[in-house]
Structure 1
Amino acid sequence: MLFQRAYAKINLTLDVLGRRDDGYHEVDMVMQTVDLSDVVWLEARDDGEITMESTSSSVPVDERNLCVQAAHAFRRRTGFAGGVHIQLEKHIPVAAGLAGGSSDAAAVLRGLNQLAGAGLTLDELADIGAEVGSDVPYCVYGGLAIARGRGERVTRYAHVPAMYAVLLHPRIFVSTADVYRGLQPSDFTSSPRSEEMVRCLAEGDHERAVSLVHNALERVTLSLYPELRALKERVTSIAQRPVHMSGSGPTMFVLTPVHTHAQRLYNALRGIMKDVYVCRFVGGYAHAHARS
């Protein structure tokens, strides 16, 4: 049996360039993994079956789960005929805008690559991941990256910013499809902020980086879910720093380069909600190895 960590991600920028002919939207976004993680355990099966269990009752364990879909995609691409049992230890909130499901699927791909001895590169695994979901290719790599297209075209950066994120997960379901449908032409841009964001992070200009955080979906999400708008206003008054949304929400985050400040903010926010996390930015999986 071996395991892979599946880190959550936040969007430091999320710009939408327009609507594509295939019905998706063209995006340009800076992604960053944080050390809030699920753990995916993989165990070989002799009967060739793909089975799954999860510590969370909110997660399906059949063909609807991206982990199971990733395992099938890996077998189609490689010809690997072996079975696998997937055990998912869930810590990332479900349907939170943190790519938990995509990260779990990416962990399955990395783990199966080792279990099967396939020797695929991360680039090859990311290519398989694109069949499973738009965020899966980025999650194969992790770390700091710019994702373009539907999110499947990933440019990686080795720099690990010395930053902390205080995450808040309101227990409110947000429909990603409804959010994207609510985008207006005025929400689109031809001048994404991704390159400048990455440059500021590489140079250690944290305050400038914080000022560049942007999410084109936030306007729509907050208009569709007024309770999230009210919560953001309340958190902003407590944090006295900008509060941003990850993905289509509902998770929000506050950035700071100072751990003690992050801890103080965590203590303050725990007074108004349960699901609050102090996370640090983490690097990618290029040099990470699963343990048996």
Structure 2
Amino acid sequence: MDSLKVKAYGKINIGLDVMAKREDGYHEVRMVMQTVRIHDNIKVDKASSGDISITTNLGFIPTDKKNLVYKAAKLLMDEFAINCGVSIDLQKHIPVSAGMGGGSSDAAAILYAMNKLFKLGLSKKELMERGALIGADVPFCLMKGTALAEGIGENVTRIAPMPECCILIAKPGFSVSTKHVYEKLRLNEIQSHPDIDGIIDAIEEEDIYEMSSLMGNVLESVTVKEHPVIEDIKMAMIDNGALNSIMSGSGPSVFGIFDEPEEAEFAMNAIREMKLAKQIFLTEPHNVE
């Protein structure tokens, strides 16, 4: 096999809580994470040059060692002394710097593809261990589905699959730095923390209504304050039929949960007419066996 095509799926955070700030500057979190069907398309080819080359459909995406895709390929090439290079074509569809884990998912897809292409024989657990060296979300992006993420996000435990529903995702026309949001977070000022265990129980009971009512994201205390349009999008989704709506990750993407496709489409059109978002998607949970 000299070539492989893979899909890198985006994610949302059904619940995101921050427990404490560690001495190393990272934060202890508890998050319920869910893969969605929005995905990037990646093609990986073996190359005789011995180098890592990246092409992409978006001109502002770095194609050098700054890209997590490059770091993922380099990690395995160095560890396994792979002399053959790789040519990577990355077609981005997941919004960039949007709280949807696009870069982490791309890195996860490259680890998976390199393992297959070069027959490295690594298990998913072994790939996840290496993924944690690249980014905290990479292990979840390798696991996919529905999971509880703890530690700095790298400790993931599969939970029952999220009930089927419609998920409307809207991203305003700006990006947000995850590093900036965590630096600005003041844990002592957070008034309310999401019930992560309650969310997990509701998912296990296949109760989309209870799950939606418990959704929450403490990072909104930073991002919404700096970008009030995020709250406008949340309210627009709820006013137009969403069971609930919160920000994903550090933002600025907002998602709403709908139990009827017609209501989700109505809300999507309403947000477009209000011109609150630059990118808007109607999708579903991507659950895996």
Question: Structure 1 residue aligned with 2:33, among 8, 18, 31?
Answer: 31
Q: Please give the residue correspondences for 1:82-161 in structure 2 after superposition, counting only pairs within 5 Å.
A: 82-157=84-159, 159-161=161-163
Q: Is residue 276 of structure 1 aligned with residue 265 of structure 2?
A: no
Matched residue count: 285
In structure 2, relative to structure 1, the CA distance for the partners of 1:130 and 1:189 (3 Å cut) is: farther
Q: CA RMSD in A?
A: 2.0
Contact 2:213/2:243 (<8 A) preserved: no
Q: Take 2:223 and 2:258, find their aligned partners in 1: how far apart are those partners?
A: 24
Question: 1:49 matched to which residue of 2?
Answer: 51
Q: Please give the residue correspondences for 1:1-292 in structure 2 after superposition, counting only pairs within 5 Å.
A: 1-157=3-159, 159-186=161-188, 193-239=195-241, 241-273=243-275, 274-284=278-288
Residue aligned with 2:244, SS:
coil
1:158 positional shift: 5.3
In structure 2, relative to structure 1, the CA distance for the partners of 1:190 and 1:73 (3 Å cut) is: farther
Contact 1:164/1:255 (<8 A) preserved: yes
1:279 positional shift: 0.7
With 100-109 and 171-180 compared, the bigger mean Cα shift is at 171-180
Q: Take 1:105 and 1:272, find their aligned partners in 2: how far apart are those partners?
A: 35
1:177 positional shift: 2.0
Contact 1:223/1:229 (<8 A) preserved: no
Amino acid at match of 1:254: G
Which consecutive unaligned segments of at least 5 residues does structure 1 have?
A: 288-292
With 3-12 and 156-165 compared, the bigger mean Cα shift is at 156-165
1:256 positional shift: 1.6
Question: 1:290 matched to which residue of 2?
Answer: none
Q: Take 1:232 and 1:153, find their aligned partners in 2: how far apart are those partners?
A: 29
Deviation per CA, 1:142-162: give whole Å up to 9, x if none: 110011111110101352421
Q: Take 1:174 and 1:47, find their aligned partners in 2: how far apart are those partners?
A: 36
Amino acid at match of 2:155: R
1:244 positional shift: 0.6
Which consecutive unaligned segments of at least 5 residues does structure 2 have?
A: none
Q: Take 1:193 and 1:78, find their aligned partners in 2: how far apart are those partners?
A: 43
With 154-163 and 11-20 compared, the bigger mean Cα shift is at 154-163
- TM-score normalised over the length of structure 2: 0.92
Q: Take 2:280 and 2:10, find their aligned partners in 1: how far apart are those partners?
A: 14
Deviation per CA, 1:154-187: give whole Å up to 9, x if none: 1013524212210001012222222112222335
Contact 1:164/1:278 (<8 A) preserved: yes
Amino acid at match of 1:249: G
